[in-house]
């Protein structure tokens, strides 16, 4: 193998490694964009009030608690549970919009706990 062949092989390996790193960075960037869009939309609605039946809201103490768990800033031990059906519905609407990569085992468990909370009260 000549020196040029060795250099070309090394360059091909370097290019492949850089392409792999670029793909990983683009994937991370896409997830960050999803996170920013999700959180920005929630923030915009956080102080709004709706006056239709059920409200159509997706923010509140219980859904915010699940979001905090999904983003790793809270634990299941401190989870705020839904107070009534409207709170649970807000959790469900939030869950439908939560980025897929944030539906971690802890977040899934938090949503399940919220779903079960009202059943246990009856």
Q: Which residues of 82-118 are buried (b: 16+ CB within 10 A; e: fewer)?
A: beeeebbbbbebbbeebbeebeeeebeebbebbeebe
Q: Tell me, letter by letter, the H, E, C secondary structure of 68-122.
A: HHHCCCCCHHHCCCCCCHHHHHHHHHHHHHCCHHHCCHHHHHHHHHHHHHHHHHC
**Structure confidence at residue 51 (pLDDT):** 53
- The label of the residue with tokens 């999700």 reads 38
Q: What is the mean pLDDT of each run of 10 residues along the chain (122 residues)?
A: 77 85 87 91 72 70 94 94 92 95 96 88 51
DSSP class of 46: T
**Structure confidence at residue 95 (pLDDT):** 96
- The set of residues, in sequence order, having a beta carbon less than 8 Å from that of 65 and lying 6+ positions away, is 74, 78, 79, 80, 81, 110
**Structure confidence at residue 56 (pLDDT):** 78
């Amino acid at each position: 193998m000549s020196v040029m062949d060795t250099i070309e092989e090394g360059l091909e390996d370097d290019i492949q490694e850089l392409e792999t790193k670029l793909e990983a960075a683009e994937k991370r960037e896409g997830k960050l964009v999803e996170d920013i869009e999700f959180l920005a939309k929630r923030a915009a609605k956080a102080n709004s009030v709706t006056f239709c039946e059920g409200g159509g809201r997706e923010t509140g103490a219980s859904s915010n608690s699940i979001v905090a768990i999904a983003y790793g800033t809270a634990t299941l031990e401190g989870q705020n549970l839904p107070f009534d059906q409207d709170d649970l519905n807000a959790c469900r609407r939030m869950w439908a919009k939560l980025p897929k990569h944030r539906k971690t085992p802890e977040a899934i468990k938090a949503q399940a706990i919220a779903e079960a909370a009202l059943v246990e009260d009856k």
